[in-house]
Amino acid sequence: MTLVTVQAVKFNSMALEAREDRLIRWLIDLNIWNSTVKCRVQAAKGFLPLEVEYDLKDKLSLPIDHVTKTLFSRLIASDLGLSLTSLGFCDKGWDDPETCVGRLLSLNLARVQDNERFKAINYAFDARIQYLVGVRSYPN
């Protein structure tokens, strides 16, 4: 017999209100959250159904690759953010979605401040979002 463990993502807001749940706000910002997803989550008693999770991961090309995971981990551990120069970006090009920086920007997990510093956005600190992008092995 095979034992399978399922780590389901649970929403904080029972009413599924964006102002109460950072995960919902992130999904709205990524244009993923809609009435269908909301109904599916309500039917699952506040959990993200696995099919919706797989669809989300397919749409966003998740989980992120190892190099981007490493950068993301460094970013959320940094109080001041990371220098774009130290990451190899002298002037521009950091917004290219093919780069690790651009990938995190496209996922709304980071921002660039004054064209110098790469900083994490509040979404980056949510364990459920870290799980969905592939940085954590469990969502809570």
pLDDT in tens, 97-137: 888 889 999 999 999 988 889 999 999 999 999 999 999 98
**Do the Cβ atoms of 25 and 18 come closer than 8 Å?**
yes
Residue 66 burial (10 A CB sphere; 0-12, 13-18, 19+): exposed
pLDDT digits (tens, 9 = 90+) for 42-101: 999 999 999 999 999 999 999 999 999 999 999 999 989 998 888 887 767 777 788 888
Instruction: Name which of 5, 4, 7 is nearest 48 in CA terms.
Output: 7
**Do the Cβ atoms of 38 and 46 come closer than 8 Å?**
no
Note if the pTM is more than 0.85: yes
Q: What angle do CA 15, 128, 56 make, to 5 degrees?
A: 85
Q: Which residue has the tokens 């959990």?
A: 47
Instruction: Compute CA distances 113 → 62, 84, 110, 116, whole Å.
Output: 25, 10, 10, 6
